[in-house]
Amino acid sequence: MTKLKDLKKRYMEDADFREEYARADDEFKLIEALVRARTEAKLTQAELAQRLGTTQSAIARLEGGRVSPSFATLRRYAEATGTRLTVGLVQADN
């Protein structure tokens, strides 16, 4: 049976795969940051939804990566969790 790390190593040799993997990794980092902000604020999805004027299911979709949030939504999410949104651009690894 192939180990996951060996499979990843083999796929990472492909430039297209590496690019998609990096893109997905960035999305996972954002999702992780959202969930961390909410949990550190000691809020349930339902409580956060109430603060944002939306539904718990909308928060679940956001935290599950099933929607692409707008900048305004991310800013409101940050404010509701007592955090601050920061955005940055860094040089691409080419």
pLDDT in tens, 24-60: 788 889 999 999 999 999 999 999 999 999 999 999 9
Decide which of 72 and 14 is more confident: 72
- Nearest CA to 34 among 94, 3, 79, 92? 79
Q: DSSP secondary-structure letter at 13?
A: T
Q: What is the mean pLDDT of residues 5-9?
A: 84
Which amino acid does the sequence have at 52?
Answer: L
Task: For 58-80, give the DSSP string.
Answer: HHHHHHTTSS---HHHHHHHHHH
Residue 73: the pLDDT is 96
